[in-house]
Amino acid sequence: MQQLDIVVCTKNNEDTIQQSLQRILAYASPSRIIVIDGLSEDRTAQLATAMGAQVHTDNGKGLGFARNMALHLAKTSIVGFVDADAYVQSNFLDLLGHFNDPSVAAASAGTIYGYGNPPLQKFHEWMLQTGVQDVGFVSTLVRRQVVLKMGGVREDLPAYEDWDLYNRIIANGYKWIWDRKVVTLHPQSLRGFLWHARRWGKGARKSGVGRKRFLRDFLASPLWALKLSIRVHPLHAVYYPFLRLEYLLGSLEG
């Protein structure tokens, strides 16, 4: 089996870090687990150390900085990224098969955000079923030297650093595979997902995504809310427009 360093970027995740690391150890057989801690104020760093992870700090410089720091600390040619509040499943290493193609620079599992929260869980299950692409660093393998050659991960983005890298990978003639057969569970509250949406919108705008896109999606959200309330969950009649509003507000902040 190919050696694989796994990176976990974290901040104040004491409620989830142990289960996340347990699943990584069970299903990914990593050479090392490298934890980059963003000055957690809880027991996150101590719990990770107790589980055998190599813990470093990014001194509060942000997620993009933490990911780049990890790429330089890692030694293996393929490096995994798993969020500290995400739970990989038994087939996670199936992603390695995509790297038999030398043009593949990254491969992501599908993510069920809001696992255990019916409106969000059903929404992201529907996205997987309908093939709506959702690449990201939640549970992803990357070809380390290829990513470093492209300048690594942008360190100035509060979020959207994964999609920014995706766009550069595609522009440079490489592939980022999204594998719907490999699924990672990501428990999240409705409020937490709204917070995530605002940060994502802020990062996207800072990365250069035009505000018109967010305004267009917000204006179209009532129609989509009706469709989603019928196809996915009734709560989306109200929730989905608020979600699109958070993306728009984040883009205005960005």
**Residue range 137-152, pLDDT digits in tens:** 999 999 999 999 999 9
Q: Is the distance from CB of 98 to CB of 171 less than 8 angstroms?
A: no
Q: What is the pLDDT of residue 191?
A: 96
Q: Which domains does the chain have, with CATH numbers?
A: 5-188 (3.90.550.10), 191-253 (no CATH)
- The mean pLDDT value of the chain amounts to 95
Global confidence as pTM: 0.93
Q: Burial level of 191, CB count in 10 A (0-12/13-18/19+)?
A: exposed
How sure is the predictor about 1, in pLDDT bands with cuts at 50, 70 and 90?
low
Q: Is the pLDDT higher at 95 or at 62?
A: 95
| E strands present in 27-103 | 32-37, 54-57, 78-82
How far apart, in whole angstroms, are the C-alpha atoms of residue 91 and residue 86?
15
